[in-house]
């Protein structure tokens, strides 16, 4: 029972991160703000979005996003503004451009390289020549050694 209460409180605190005074009157703009907020990292909490975080900085960022939307910025302009101010770290899912492209491509390239090495190794095992048959003198010598 207590565990359920603690879990409910933990989930409820995330659900109530956006305070009533932050909510926009226009439901379309509010929905856009909520969607944008889900992809923006809380710089205090690290792996929480600003939509989920109760941190003061997250609140400031939520208000900033809403202000930019009210001013007429597109979603991309809001994201670009935040990235120019806080860097790529502010995005929960970094863009696949520039230096990040190396990180995005490194795992598949390394996987394919490892797969090629493994396949090469397996093929080399198949190509191993079978042992040569023993000559008559070798067979006789082997029989002597076994009998002793």
pLDDT-above-70 percentage for the chain: 84
Domain ranges in the chain? 2-90, 98-147
- What's this model's pTM, rounded to 2 decimal places? 0.59
Cβ atoms of residues 23 and 30 within 8 Å: yes
CB atoms within 10 A of CB 48: 17
CA 45/CA 148 separation, integer angstroms: 77
What pLDDT band is residue 85 in, cutting at 50, 70 and 90?
very high
In CATH terms, the fold of domain 2-90 is Helicase, Ruva Protein; domain 3 (1.10.8)
Residue 50 has pLDDT above 80, yes or no: yes
Average pLDDT score over the chain: 83
Cβ atoms of residues 84 and 43 within 8 Å: no
The predicted-structure confidence for 22-44, as pLDDT tens digits, reads as follows: 777 788 988 999 999 999 999 88
């Amino acid at each position: 029972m207590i565990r359920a209460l603690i879990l409910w409180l933990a989930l409820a605190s995330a659900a109530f991160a956006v305070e009533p005074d932050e909510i926009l009157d226009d439901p379309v703009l509010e929905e856009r703000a909520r969607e944008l907020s889900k992809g923006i990292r809380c710089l205090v909490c690290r792996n929480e979005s600003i939509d989920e975080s109760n941190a003061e900085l997250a609140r400031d960022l939520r208000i900033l996003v809403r202000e930019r939307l009210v001013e007429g910025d597109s979603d991309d302009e809001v994201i670009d503004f935040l990235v120019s101010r806080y860097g790529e770290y502010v995005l929960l899912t970094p863009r696949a451009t520039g230096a990040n492209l190396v990180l995005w491509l490194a795992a598949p390239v390394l996987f394919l390289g490892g797969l090629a090495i493994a396949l090469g190794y397996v093929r080399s095992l198949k190509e191993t020549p079978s042992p040569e048959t023993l000559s008559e003198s070798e067979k006789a010598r082997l029989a002597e050694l076994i009998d002793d």
